[in-house]
Structure 1
Amino acid sequence: MQQDTFQEITTDCLPLDGEKSHREQRSIPGETVVALFVNGRHAATTLLSPGSLEEYTTGYLFAEEIIRRPEDIESIRIEENRISVLTKNPFRITGRRRTILAGCGGSTSYIDTASLPSIESDYRVSSSLLTSLSSQTCSPEHGIETAVLAGNDGIIAWYADIDCTSAVDRAIGSALLKQTDFSRTCLVISGLVTSEMVRRCLLAGIPVIGSIRAATTLAVRIAAEQHLSVAGFLTDDNLCLFTHPERIRGSG
């Protein structure tokens, strides 16, 4: 199992208990600003938890459709607050997706599902595995987000970050580097299942996504059209199936 915990920094604080106070130290999540350059040009500036930047970069470039596989990367140089990437196609800077299209003047927008992959996997997962994986995620009260990628044989990647999208990018990037067969996996997250989470699953070919929280209306619509299974409100003994329940064993 690939597991990478977020970094915590110890800092001074002053807890108040009624009229009494005393100075103590508490551990809080680390946060860093990272600028990403692709083939010499600035591509993004992101706020991240420190660490595992190769996995994050690989997953981010894949999600942005700049690369299709890790072999498309010539080199990654990680420095303080900067990541420099050279791809084998030196003219590739951003592949920013064509799936989100704007109407006249940018006043309206919609998702072009025809340009998104459709899930064709016959993978099935037990409801008990999904609820078990939900116990591996961090609750929103912790102030961090978690992404757990697993197959029927166990957890493949576990990542935490201050942002759920970044945690997902790390998990997918780690699995890409290990040449994982995504068609036999499921993804469980601590955040909302949004259209961006659905899009990442479709690009990777992950057939099942679940969350301890809900799914948005747009995420449910896209997932239904593209044959992605979405489960929400995962707890120790409960879940809600939004789309394609046939992949979830024990769903009746």
Structure 2
Amino acid sequence: MKKLVIFGTGKIAEVISYYAINECGFDVAAFTVDREYIKSETFNGIPVVPFDELAVKYPKAEYDIFVALGYQDMNKLREKKYLEVKALGYNVVSIISPKTNLPSNVNYGENCFIMPPALIHPCVELGNNVFVFSGAMIGHHSKIGDNCWLTSSANISGIVTVGKNCFFAVNSTVGHQVNIGENCFVGANALVTKCLKDNQVVIAESTPVFRLDTKNFLRITKFSSL
């Protein structure tokens, strides 16, 4: 296994580097970002190198790479940087925690990240650059397109096809055999039971604030007696 360089020095990169080092056995040699975003020579005690110097200081023959960016602009920034490192000829790895107990017939592409305890059924296909966070579920025979993000406790039922560059927020749910177009945003607690076209947005209303404050609410409930 080659040593690993991680693109990114933000909170997502910090989380992913934890799993890369502590659960997946990667030796993270450096972080890299575009020169104008460098704030320090190190990140968590590991060197940070400008991206324009990466090929010289950490050549592709000796190092693999992972792009650890967030879901900005419907994952398009992460997609852009993934394509840039591919153009330089680097091998782009996926970081899959062994604690996810991924079925052997699940297929996934490059630059995928799966955080435990995600639940992925057999016969699932993930494209390139797909991020699946803790508690998310993907049902059997579903296909997730490139550059998608499923955050914690998002639920994709069985036999679902998801297009590229989609985002699924906390506790969102897609029903059985419902297809999702490209660039769709499914908000927290939203339930999708009909197919979505490209670029559609589904948002669930927030729970309204109760009329009483905490002190007066506790007076009329048994909560404090538990």
Question: TM-score by structure 2 length?
Answer: 0.26
Higher strand share: 1
Higher helix share: 1
Instruction: Choose between structure 1 and 2 for higher RCO, CA contacts under 8 A separated by at least 6 residues.
Output: 1
